Amino acid sequence: MEHEQGAVVLRSLRLKVTPRRLAVMNCLGEERAYLSAEEVWHRVRPRLGSIGLPTVYRILDELAGAHIVTRIFRSDRKQYYFLCPNQEHHHHFVCDSCRHVEDMDLCGLDGMTREIVRRSGGRVLSHILQVNGLCAECSKQNREMP
Ligand SMILES: [Zn+2]
Ligand SMILES: [Zn+2]
Ligand SMILES: [Zn+2]
């Protein structure tokens, strides 16, 4: 994501354009992969000078709250983040090997949602779905291994 583009996106989210927010956005925008908060911190520190890890967490939380950043779940206790400007309802296919993330504009949970409503008598408001696997590239390499 270009510097200017980052500023436009921040403004459209009604977030004030600050050098720190821009640096975090641009850092994530350079990747089609997810990063941990620590990794973001290590990458933005040389550009910003003094910035603490708690500030990086706070900015990532703000960006996640504005739905421009998605949290990626893993079994370790670290927090991972992926920048995704796609505001349409969709899910992510995450490569466990290289961390590549692909947008999947399919959901397939409508039937399950209807069934949950029927059984529970309640209302479904949202859902979280992350699909893990190996991307095409990593899958190919895996097959080539003896
Ligand atoms: Zn991969
Ligand atoms: Zn996405
Ligand atoms: Zn869905």
Domain parsing of the chain, residue ranges = 3-83, 91-144
Q: How far is the CA of 52 from the centre of ligand 1 (A)?
A: 31
Give me Rg for the CA atoms of the chain. 18
Is 91-144 a domain of CATH 3.40.640.10?
no
Which protein residues have their CB within 5 A of the ion that is ligand 2?
84, 86, 103
Residue 82: count other Cβ atoms within 10 Å of its Cβ.
20
Q: How far is the CA of 8 from the centre of ligand 2 (A)?
A: 19
Predicted confidence (pLDDT) per residue in 25-47, tens digit: 999 999 889 999 999 999 999 98
- pTM (two decimals): 0.86
> What CATH class does 3-83 carry?
mainly alpha
Give the mean model confidence (pLDDT) for residues 93-109.
94
**What token pair was written down for 9?**
């996106």
Q: How confident is the model at residue 6 (pLDDT cuts 50, 70, 90)?
A: confident
Q: Which residues contact 74 (CB under 8 A, 6 or more apart)?
A: 80
Whether 134 shows a pLDDT value over 80: the answer reads: yes
Q: How far is the CA of 92 from the centre of ligand 2 (A)?
A: 6
